[in-house]
Amino acid sequence: MTNETYCNLAQMKMFCTNFATLLLLLVSNALAQEGMITVRVTNESGSPITNAVVQAGVATVIKPGWGWGAGHPNTAKSLSDTNGICVLQGNGNGGSVGIGVRKDGYYGSSGYLVVFTNLVGLVNKKWQPWNPTVNVILKPIGDPIPMYVKSFGDRSIPGRGEPIGLDLMAGDWVAPHGKGKTSDFVLQYIVQSEGTIETRYGSVRTADRTLIVTFSNEGDGVKAVQVPLQGGSALRLPPLASENGYTTNVVKRAVKDQNGLHSDIQEDQNYFFRVRTMKDDKDNIVSALYGKIYGDFRFDERGRVAFTYFLNPTPNDRNVEFDPAKNLFTNLSSREQVHEP
């Protein structure tokens, strides 16, 4: 072997070693991209909350070859200070961080997501925006009460086009379709048209369907309340149902055509409701039951309706803060149970 050949081999070996080291450094840096966030924790009045537990989960993309469930959670946790401020810093290569906050005496608040838009630095990589502030409001646990609470789902409305009563205390359709006696909600599923049209991609089934929710008594109704889906308290709505502002019906429509399904069902839509209303001769409400619905009224092409309702059985009591350990329904299936307040 000539000296020239030996030198070439040595240079090649050194190059390979350096290249492997560079790859290792790149992988290490890819898994160590740094992010920082500031979380400000307050009550509903804006006053800071001290010693709240703030936790952030930093997204990390699974490396090739790791397999599902490999790796380890990448989290950071600390306490808010006397100003309600908590600064968290963590590493991850996923470009986002999820935030949750809890404290004894308050409902937990979670689902906050910060998405980073850029990355700077070749070695000490930092996600941008650097150190954004996330405001989190904690709601106090007040007076949770027993309620009739049920996830009413995948139940076909009996009789297409026919108004059918639903008894919220029985959790069932009224007789003769079920065991209910009082029509708290009256649901009607209407199919305006169904058919097939030909497109350049082949035959497409079309339909125009509507779900109508009405009520039995003058003064009954719903009040829509929109709540952002991303980030918020486990107690989604205020603890007291509204006293006024109820409307007499809800109409939800879904149209399926060659461009897909178009629906006005809104997942960020929630409701207060009032049922079993009785009035005096001066049109004043003397008795009524109040409740709430988490999410919107949903339905599918087979006429199956789904929604989650909370009913306070005490007349004129507008408290709708539910104690999940005291559901007045017993023997609910796992799909019907509700664990939110």
Going by pLDDT thresholds of 50, 70 and 90, the confidence category of residue 28 is very low
According to the model, what pLDDT value does residue 63 have? 63
pLDDT level of residue 120 (50, 70, 90 thresholds): confident
Structural domains of the chain ordered from first start: 33-137 (2.60.130.10), 145-327 (no CATH)
* 327, containing H or E segment: strand 322-327
Looking at residues 11-23, what average pLDDT do you find? 40
Is the predicted pLDDT of residue 26 greater than 90, yes or no?
Answer: no
- Between CA 247 and CA 224 the distance in angstroms is 9
Stronger pLDDT, 260 or 51, i.e. the higher one: 51
Mean pLDDT score across all residues of the chain = 86
Above 50 in pLDDT, residue 264?
A: yes
158 — pLDDT class (breaks 50, 70, 90): confident
Q: 33-74, pLDDT tens digit by residue?
A: 888 999 999 999 999 999 999 999 888 776 665 555 555 558
In the chain the first and final C-alpha atoms are separated, in Å, by 81
Higher pLDDT, 267 or 186: 186
Model pLDDT, residue 117: 85
The better pLDDT of the pair 295, 22 is held by 295
Please give the Cα distance from 134 to 115 (Å, whole number): 12
Q: Which residue has the tokens 């995948």?
A: 154
The per-residue DSSP string of 147-199 comes to: EEEEEEEEEEPSSTTS-EEEETTTTEEBTTSSSB-S-SEEEEEEEEEEEEEEE
Q: Determine which helix (DSSP H) or strand (DSSP E) holds 54, and give its type and residue range.
A: strand 53-58
> Given this model, what pLDDT does residue 109 score?
97
> What is the model's pLDDT at position 8?
46
Q: pLDDT at residue 21 above 60?
A: no
Residue 146: its pLDDT value, please?
A: 98
pLDDT at 153: 85
User: What is the model's pLDDT at position 116?
Assistant: 87
Residue 62 is encoded by which pair of tokens?
């699974």
Read off the pLDDT of each residue in 94-120 and give the average, rounded to a whole number: 91
Distant-in-sequence, close-in-space partners of 253: CB < 8 Å, separation ≥ 6? 208, 209, 210, 211, 263, 264
pLDDT tens track for 121-151: 766 788 899 999 999 999 999 999 999 999 9
| Cα 80 to chain centroid, rounded | 25
Q: What is the pTM assigned to this prediction?
A: 0.83
- Percentage of the residues of the chain whose pLDDT score is greater than 90: 62
Give percent above pLDDT 70 in the chain: 82
